[in-house]
Amino acid sequence: MTTATFGAPTSRPTAVPLSERVKNPALLLLPAACFLAFIYLLPLIDLGRISVSGPTWSVYFERVFSVPLYWESLVRTMQISFTVACFCLLFGYPTALLIHRSRGVVQVLIATAIVLPYFIAILIRTYAWMVLLGRNGPVNKLLTAIGVFAEPAQLLFNRGSVLLGMTAVLMPLMVLSIYSSVARLDKSLTRAALAAGAGPIAVFWRVLFPLTLPGVGAGFLLVFVTALGFFITPTLLGGPKDQMFAMHITQQADFATSEGFLQSLAVVLLVITLVVVGVAGRFLGFEFIWGGGKLSDSPAKPSGDKAERSSRSQRSIGSTFADLVGWPLLRLLGKLPKSAGTWTVRLVGGFVVAGLVLPIVVVMIISFSSATYLTFPPPSFSLRWYEKFFSDSNWMSAFWSSLIIATMSASIAVTLGASAAMGIVRSRIKGKSAIMLLLVSPVIVPPVVLGLSLYTLFLRFDLVGSMWGIAAAHAIGGLPLVVVIIAASLQAVDPRLEQAASVHGASPLTVFRTVTLPAIAPGLAAATFFAFLHSFDELVLSLFLSSAHLRTLPLMLWADINYQLNPVLAVVSTLEVLLVVGGIALARPVLTRSRGVA
């Protein structure tokens, strides 16, 4: 009895020494969590508090839904966002197939033509369409030359130009989401279907499309949610009847008497966005936001039965949809020649690539124009506008302000994001997907909502118009980019190398410096650049948080675009395009290596 008592293992848990608990990688999540809690979650909570601070909690919301101006604008925003998502899907799917079916240099060029515009500021891409569709732009000149119009037409400031501009801006998001699903498919499935006698169209509808529905759904929802908070493109390309809901928030922000009602407008937009994301997450999983797989809470892999049931469920849903909708179409389309699908993919994909690249090329050419106004083609070429840009003290002051703020913001985002990525990848903490959702959630919050909430917080701490304040605000959006890129890089590093170094007596800091850091260096460099670029291009937050004494380059661009269009704006756009090209070249090794890694 005595022997049994002493020999039996005690049920009391062994206390973990403090030195071991400090080494827990999960603690690396704390800096980013504290940062987001104070400068991201707290302002949003305070925004909600102010929106219900009226005589009754619902008085401001009743006004939002009872005044036709705001209710009609909300409905219009939903309609435009849905239409843009449909257009992106219609043209984005063939473009994704074109990238997948291309090989070698052609594939690289097409993929670059899609990815490059995605990282160029929305303001610059919208400006490019203003140039392209202007009265002296190439589209009007072409249509006049071939006799469609007797004189230049008004192609801007209408619903068509808004849909075109927003579709072009958001198209890369759709193409990349669909391509990620297409690239993961087993090619033997389509070959087996063809060998069994199915035609190319039947193979697409019964095999390819059902298996890529998760990517289609993710792309559609990302485009729709992003479009809900659009402000820049509809303001510059639309007319009075094309006002979207986010535009009312920026307009009401100029009136001090709007407090309470202004916050209610922002809360309505935020709630709609969160509801859409919540419903999407219920069916697709919230991983669609960061384009990765579910993060495991432990090294153990999920059981094969569970994975098989999930895969079978997805195939069942996709096959049912294809059966209900597809067979009538297949009977009609089956009569088309086999080459019809191939040429459709090539023509639609080529059209999309041209629509994304040509506006940027036109703007770059105009930057060398000798004319005093925007016209294409230029009457002659000159460097006069480059000289004006570099000699103008206002432009250069804004440039250096943006450069300093972007450097500070990138430093904050990389420091916190790299630490959080290490914590979420290397720790065994439970609920990793939920933590990742919190870290990347700023990308789904409409910028006007975030800017308004931060303005109230910054006023209390006297941070409005300060470089550190604006840099910290920009870092909110840069941090998700850093976390996603570095987490992908870390998952490509064999953890056994780090374990081996630890076994031989190396401290955690030494392991990181000698093993982990060299392995993730390309990803770290790419993350740093994209965090820098995000801040350098940020306009909406700067509109809320800057002052008359501190103006960034996007703010200067915004003021000039609303006041006058001249080739100096094309110079700024060209310089940024060159900056993005350099960054893409820098990031290409890590993006290629980590493709398909969550």
Q: Does one domain contain both 32 and 160?
A: no
CATH code at 252? Answer: 1.10.3720.10
Domain limit, last residue, from 312, 336, 366: 366
Can you tell me the distance from the alpha carbon of 592 to that of 545, in angstroms, rounded to the nearest whole number? 37
The CA radius of gyration of the chain, in Å to the nearest whole number, is 26
Q: Is residue 543 part of a domain?
A: yes
Q: Is residue 87 part of a domain?
A: yes
Can you tell me the distance from the alpha carbon of 294 to that of 308, in angstroms, rounded to the nearest whole number? 15
Q: Does one domain contain both 488 and 593?
A: yes
Q: Does one domain contain both 62 and 118?
A: yes
- Which DSSP letter does residue 151 get? S
Q: How crowded is residue 16: how many other Cβ atoms within 10 Å of its Cβ?
A: 9
Can you tell me the distance from the alpha carbon of 257 to that of 267, in angstroms, rounded to the nearest whole number? 18
Q: Does one domain contain both 258 and 284?
A: yes
Q: For residues 177 and 222, is the Cβ–Cβ distance under 8 A?
A: yes
Q: Does one domain contain both 532 and 456?
A: yes
CA angle 282, 288, 292 (to 5 degrees): 125
List the one residue out of 361, 372, 360 whose CA is nearest residue 565.
372
Q: Is residue 125 part of a domain?
A: yes
* Structure token pair of residue 185: 């498919």
Q: For residues 236 and 561, is the Cβ–Cβ distance under 8 A?
A: yes
Q: Which residues contact residue 552 at a Cβ distance below 8 angstroms, ignoring those fewer than 6 apart?
A: 398, 401, 402, 405, 470, 538, 542, 546
* Structure token pair of residue 224: 């729709």
Can you tell me the distance from the alpha carbon of 531 to that of 480, in angstroms, rounded to the nearest whole number? 9
Q: Does one domain contain both 563 and 495?
A: yes
DSSP bridge pairs for 547: 550
Q: Does one domain contain both 236 and 248?
A: yes
Domain extent at residue 494: 24-57+382-598
Can you tell me the distance from the alpha carbon of 25 to that of 422, in angstroms, rounded to the nearest whole number? 7
Q: Does one domain contain both 253 and 392?
A: no
Can you tell me the distance from the alpha carbon of 96 to that of 466, in angstroms, rounded to the nearest whole number? 43
Q: Is residue 332 part of a domain?
A: no
Q: Quickly list H helices, 121-186.
A: 122-133, 138-145, 159-183
Q: Does one domain contain both 432 and 476?
A: yes
* Structure token pair of residue 122: 């929305």
Q: What is the pLDDT of residue 29?
A: 93
Is-above-0.75 flag for pTM? yes
Q: Is residue 344 part of a domain?
A: no
Domain limit, last residue, from 318, 336, 366: 366
Whats the size of the chain, residue-wise? Answer: 598
pLDDT digit of tens for each residue in the chain (598 aa)? 444 444 444 555 555 454 455 467 888 999 999 999 999 999 999 999 999 988 888 889 998 899 999 999 999 999 999 999 999 999 999 999 999 888 888 888 898 889 888 888 888 899 889 889 988 888 988 899 888 888 888 899 999 999 999 999 999 999 999 998 888 887 777 767 666 666 667 777 777 888 888 889 889 999 999 999 998 999 999 988 899 999 988 888 766 556 788 999 999 999 999 999 998 888 878 777 776 655 655 444 444 454 445 445 445 555 565 566 555 665 555 556 667 778 888 999 999 999 999 988 988 998 998 888 777 888 889 999 999 999 999 999 999 999 999 999 999 999 999 999 999 988 888 888 889 999 999 999 999 999 999 998 898 888 888 999 999 999 999 999 999 989 888 887 877 777 777 776 777 777 777 888 888 888 888 899 889 999 999 999 999 999 888 889 999 999 888 777 778 888 988 888 888 877 767 666 555 554 444 3
Compute CA 329 distance to the chain's CA centroid, rounded to the nearest angstrom. Answer: 34
Q: Is residue 484 part of a domain?
A: yes
Q: Which residues contact residue 474 at a Cβ distance below 8 angstroms, ignoring those fewer than 6 apart?
A: 405, 406, 409, 413, 534, 535, 538, 541
Q: Which residues contact residue 32 at a Cβ distance below 8 angstroms, ignoring those fewer than 6 apart?
A: 416, 417, 419, 420, 439, 479, 483
Q: Does one domain contain both 427 and 515?
A: yes
Can you tell me the distance from the alpha carbon of 58 to that of 461, in angstroms, rounded to the nearest whole number? 29
- Which DSSP letter does residue 145 get? H
To the nearest 10°, the Cα dihedral for 558, 559, 564, 570? Answer: -40
Can you tell me the distance from the alpha carbon of 267 to that of 287, in angstroms, rounded to the nearest whole number? 24
Can you tell me the distance from the alpha carbon of 591 to that of 598, in angstroms, rounded to the nearest whole number? 12
Q: Does one domain contain both 51 and 82?
A: no
Q: What is the pLDDT of residue 587?
A: 61
Q: Is residue 168 part of a domain?
A: yes
Domain limit, last residue, from 336, 366, 396: 366
Can you tell me the distance from the alpha carbon of 467 to that of 457, in angstroms, rounded to the nearest whole number? 15
Q: Is residue 13 part of a domain?
A: no
* Structure token pair of residue 52: 């219900």
Q: Does one domain contain both 51 and 65?
A: no
Cβ contacts of 140-146, under 8 Å, gap ≥ 24: 141/376
Question: What total of structural domains would you count in the chain?
Answer: 2
